[in-house]
Amino acid sequence: MKSMNTSPSINTKLTISFITLLLAAIFSALGLLPAIHVLSAAFLVALLFMYDKANATYLKVLAWIGVFLVGVFMALYRPDGFSYWNTISVEQLHENGKPYQQFVNLGKFFGAMIIFTWVMHGRAKADLVKAFTIRNLAIAISSALTVLLVAAWILELDTITKFSQITIVFLAINLVITCFSEESFYRLVVQRPSEKAFTNKRFGRVFGALIASAFFTLTHFSNQPQVLTVMAIAGTLYATTYALTRSVSAAIVTHFSVNALHFIFLTYPM
């Protein structure tokens, strides 16, 4: 029986995926990750492997739909009675502030790690360098400042400077768990594939940005119209950043800048 030949790049992806699955299993054993998400992560690897190896277009489409569904499941599903690791729990972040808790959604993180490994293998360094060119960094920061100014205006946020050990914990968790995980999914699984709906690149990028921003708004849904409006604007500008820079890292910079500056200098949470 002939052994299945795999390319060196796929071997590397499988190795990194195995390490990621092992870490997920360890966190699950510690009670910090639902066991179902370890199985989901393994299924995600299988779907991405299928996508890489498939020659037929319909198989690639089916595999990618599976990646999308499993990714959403890992990000949003939490079994009854299970709670992710709570890294911050305070009655007030600042005077007259609201209670705040920060949970580490490891399901979202491990799903994003696997997706990033398979989609960005061999391109991660170039993507990061691209984000920090003068043009792209200017786009990322301009987008972030626009989101903050609009949010401060619509939500009537006050300026309250706060920096402590809690801030450092928030920034570290927010960068790795929230911004990296979400931007990897929205850009690599939603926006970039959606762009292929049009052969015209310009139309494709506009369509991809609209789909990604709509999905971002849906997954950050709020019953408060003002908050929902801010989420829609933020989702649009994050997607626009990627469309203009072609860098996932630039979108992460934009997202993280918004969250970090909002946390440090404005009323938080909203």
Phi, psi of 90 (to 5 degrees): -135, 150
As given in the structure block, the two tokens for residue 86 are: 């709570």
Confidence of residue 5 (pLDDT cuts 50, 70, 90): low
Residue 107 burial (10 A CB sphere; 0-12, 13-18, 19+): buried
- State the pLDDT at residue 97: 84
- State the pLDDT at residue 95: 84
Q: Is the pLDDT of residue 1 over 60?
A: no
* Residue 65, amino acid: I
Per cent of the chain over pLDDT 70 is 98
| Cα gap 52→250, rounded to integer Å | 26
The pLDDT tens digits of the residues spanning 6-64 come to 677 999 999 999 999 999 999 999 999 999 999 999 999 999 999 999 999 999 999 99
Phi, psi of 36 (to 5 degrees): -60, -25
* Average of per-residue pLDDT across 244-259: 98
Contacts (Cβ under 8 Å, ≥6 apart) of 41:
20, 21, 24, 74, 110, 111, 114
Task: Say which range, 109-113, 154-158, 185-189, 266-270, has the weakest mean pLDDT.
Answer: 266-270
| Cα gap 23→26, rounded to integer Å | 5
Burial code of 154-186, b = ≥16 C-beta within 10 A, e = fewer? ebebeeeebeeebeeebbebbbebbbbbbbbbb
- State the pLDDT at residue 2: 40
Confidence of residue 137 (pLDDT cuts 50, 70, 90): very high
The SS3 call for residue 211 is helix
* Residues paired with 100 in a beta bridge: 90
Q: What's the gap between Cα 222 and its chain centre?
A: 19
- State the pLDDT at residue 4: 43
pTM equals 0.94
- State the pLDDT at residue 166: 93
The pLDDT tens digits of the residues spanning 71-128 come to 999 999 999 999 999 999 999 888 888 899 999 999 999 999 999 999 999 999 999 9
